Structure 1
Amino acid sequence: MAACGLDFGTSNTTLGLVTEARPRLLPLEGRHVTIPSAIFFPPGQPAVVGRAAMAEYVEGTPGRLMRSLKSVLGSSLLEETTPVGRERIKFRDVIARYLTAVKARAEAAAGTEFDTVVHGRPVHFVDADPEGDAKAENALREIASSIGFKHVSFQYEPIAAALDYEQQVRAEEIALIADIGGGTSDFSIVRLSAERHAKAERADDILANDGVRIGGTDFDRRLSLGTVMPLLGLGSPMSRGDINVPNAYFHDLATWSSINRLYNARTLREIEEVRRDARRPELIDRLYTVVEAERGHSLAMEVEGAKIATSEAGQGSISLDWVERGLVADIDRTGLVTHTDELARRIAERIGRCLAQAGLTADRIDALFLTGGSTGLPHVRAALTAGVPHARVVDGDTFGSVGTGLTIEAARRAA
């Protein structure tokens, strides 16, 4: 039996253990140490996880895809059921099935079973709701116990990232850790040094923690609502009265955790009724095509890909030729910023809250350590660096720093 560090992320998951006094993330899908937090249920067949799950869905295999599973923690969705083939299962059981597969793959790669886990968690599962936050952690603890972990504890994700960064720190410094993930943005201010790294108790070195439930999937959502959903009818007028087409369908279609809500006969009937009274029925026809074909996740993947391409190359496009020949949504960096700049500002505001909590001014921060996929967005990075303009900027392992730090913590707690 062994202890592991588990970073169950909104977008990706890692699991690691310490071998020969070094933390090591285990391969979970082929040679990949990261595995997308996705599960696909083909009818009458065992569930498929990770990249394989998304490939099955994109290739048109019948079944149900679920992604960004972590986002239901702290929401009412956790206890709701969703249709999977001929049965209905709770979202908490979906998470359990996914993590069961991850645990089994990690144990096979390590050649040992894991009975102890340090789970990563955001600073806030739920903003401004301590009771909801506690419920979310407790639910994740119950899920971990149900899949075979006998000893379950938690560590804040930015603290875990700090433990990874501290491996390269030689002189004492104060670091601001920014972990901008798929579902949350988390910050910690931590006192670090090589000597402190060896200490088992680090409570006095943690100067501040704060976070907000905004992450990469929120950027995807805003981008989708701003560029794609208007092509499907969002904001278009109804024939009678000074009202627009109901927007709930579009918000669900743009939100990873809500897409599956649309896949039922009642929703299709409702969309048909909307079409009859819409001033531009051809747009609602496009919406109907997406929902009837259950291609909402494909659309979300296209938006995510265009976001990444735009952040890297300055422009991207989303081909909707499968909806209507020649239909495309083009995105440039200006559009990306226009639709998502408010989110970047709200994330960066937490830096001021952390500094106030720590009783420090911005010039006291020696290093800004960045991890998480959304730190790759130029306007997010600019907003973060502006908060501590004199700090040295250090880029961590985008998807592995938190998992590595959790692995270090797991070894300490098991010693």
Structure 2
Amino acid sequence: MAACGLDFGTSNTTLGIGSGGVPSLVPLEGAHRTLPSAIFFAPGRDAEIGRAAIEAYVEGTPGRLMRALKSVLGSALVEESTPVGRERIRFRDVIARYLTAVKARAEAETGLSLDAVVHGRPVHFVDDDPAADRKAEDTLRQIAESIGFRHVRFQFEPIAAALDYERTVTGEEIALIADIGGGTSDFSIVRLSPERHRREDRADDILANDGVRIGGTDFDRTLSLGAVMPLLGLGSPMKRGDLAVPNAYFHDLATWSSINRLYNAKTLREIDEVVRDAARPDLVTRLRRVVEAERGHSLAMAVEGAKIATSDSGQGQVDLGWVEPDLSAGVDRPRLAAHTEDLARRMAQRIGRCLDQAGLTADRIDALFLTGGSTGLPHVRAALTASVPGARVVDGDTFGSVGLGLTLEAARLA
């Protein structure tokens, strides 16, 4: 039986296999070990995935781009269909097509026929809704089985990250694992040691597990609504002064999984009516240009890029010159923090819940292990470290720790 660890993330996907007890991530796109969780459907062509999907969209190839595919799990949207050319495809079948391509690439790269998988999953697909959470896992299991995995197991993503980190520890310690991904933030408190690492049953070492459906795409969405969408008319008045421009269009446009909902003739007609009745029709006309050109994902990627640039260098720019000459939105760290500080605060609150669940005080945590792209945001990192101020901060493989941990567990199935 050939087993793999599969981290199907909101933003990126990895797949790993173990050889001689050493886990490694399989290159899924050229030399890249990470594959953007994106798929592009173009008329008359096979679907593109990953970077190639994004490039096809950016280059203006006619078709439909979908990103943040994982975010529909646990919602009613997963059973709904979306128009792709002349057909309609259910979102769960879109996920299946994407994961089929991932599996095929890994098998071609390794020469193995993969029939077993340890799938990563967030602590909560859906906050405070156990039934929806179970349904999300069941859906992902069904998809995995439908694409050829005969043996499917799940592991919490922060636990997988803990297994990766545990390979480096030299003595016993209690670690808080923070996995801040594209769609969720997950936390686990785990007792680790070289001796415990050899055990198959680690249930007694997991002291707490919690999470919240907040991740990198939520930071993108909130930043977009705060810094960019007002330039397209969000919050501006209608001619009837006690009303504002309807905000639903802007919320869909700022949310990766909802962007494609706007691309239809009915929405364009509605926006035309808003333009007619708006006190600032020039602003809403910008919104119409984005929707008519089906460039919502271009806008979302520009916001994401500005967020990353701001995190790295202190400043970023959302270039909107393609909407209107010389139009742009500047972002700096104080502005990014102002728009998204509530998200960071809610993440840190989950750490408090984890400590309560484990029956521990913050000073009992020896190490804070950080993984996931959003741990690079300075105000997020500050909120997390302030929750356990005495802990040693360890930076994991930002996009690979979860996949490597899942692969370690998968090796036990082989």
TM-score, reference length from structure 1: 0.99
Rounded Cα–Cα distance in structure 1 between residues aligned with 2:268 and 2:91: 23
Q: 1:21 offset after TM fit, Å?
A: 1.9
Classify the secondary structure of the residue corresponding to 1:168. Answer: coil
AA at the equivalent of 1:43: P
Tell me the C-alpha RMSD between the 2 structures: 0.6
Matched, 1:331 2:309: no
1: CA distance, partners of 2:121 / 2:301: 25
For the pair 1:394 / 2:394, whether they are aligned, the reply is: yes
The superposition leaves residues 237-282 of structure 1 with CA deviations (integer Å, 9 ceiling, x where unpaired) of 0001401000000000000000000000000000000100000000
1:367 paired with 2:364, answer no
Q: What letter matches 1:22 in structure 2?
A: V
1:354-386 deviation digits (Å, cap 9, x = unpaired): 000000010000000000000000000000000
Question: Any stretches of 5+ residues in structure 1 without a counterpart?
Answer: none
Helix, strand or coil at the partner of 1:54:
helix
Segments ≥4 residues shifted beyond 2 Å = none
Cα distance in 2 for residues equivalent to 1:245 and 1:326: 24
Matched, 1:154 2:146: no
SS at match of 1:285: helix
Q: Quick check: 1:200 aligned with 2:225?
A: no
C-alpha distance in 2, partners of 1:363/1:244?
49
**1:5-20 matches, cutoff 5 A:** 5-20=5-20
- Which residue in the other structure is 2:135 paired with? 135
In the alignment of these two chains, the number of paired residues is 414
1:117 equivalent in alignment to 2:108: no
SS at match of 2:242: coil
The CA distance in 1 between the partners of 2:159 and 2:334, in whole Å, is 34
How big is the shift at 1:178? 0.1
What does residue 251 of structure 1 align with?
251
Cα deviation, residue 223, structure 1: 0.2
Distance of 2:364 and 2:276 partners within structure 1: 62
Offset at residue 213 of structure 1 (A) = 0.1
Distance 2:155 2:21 in 1: 20
Amino acid at match of 2:369: F
Q: Look up the match of 1:85.
A: 85
**Are positions 1:213 and 2:198 aligned together?**
no
* Per-residue Cα deviation, 1:313-366 (whole angstroms, up to 9, x for no partner): 111101101000010101111100000000000001011100000000100000
Per-residue CA distance 1:207-232 (angstroms, 9 max, x = gap): 00000000000000000000110000
User: How many percent identity over aligned positions?
Assistant: 78
Q: TM-score scaled by structure 2?
A: 0.99
Q: Distance in 2 between matches of 1:241 and 1:73?
A: 40
- Unaligned runs of at least 5 residues, structure 2: none
Amino acid in structure 2 at the alignment position of 1:188: S
Question: In 1, Cα distance between the equivalents of 2:135 and 2:16?
Answer: 26
Deviations 1:68-126 (A, max 9, x none): 00000011110110000000000000000000000000011111011000000000000
Q: Within 2, Cα distance between the matches of 1:228 and 1:251?
A: 12
1:292 aligns with 2:289: no
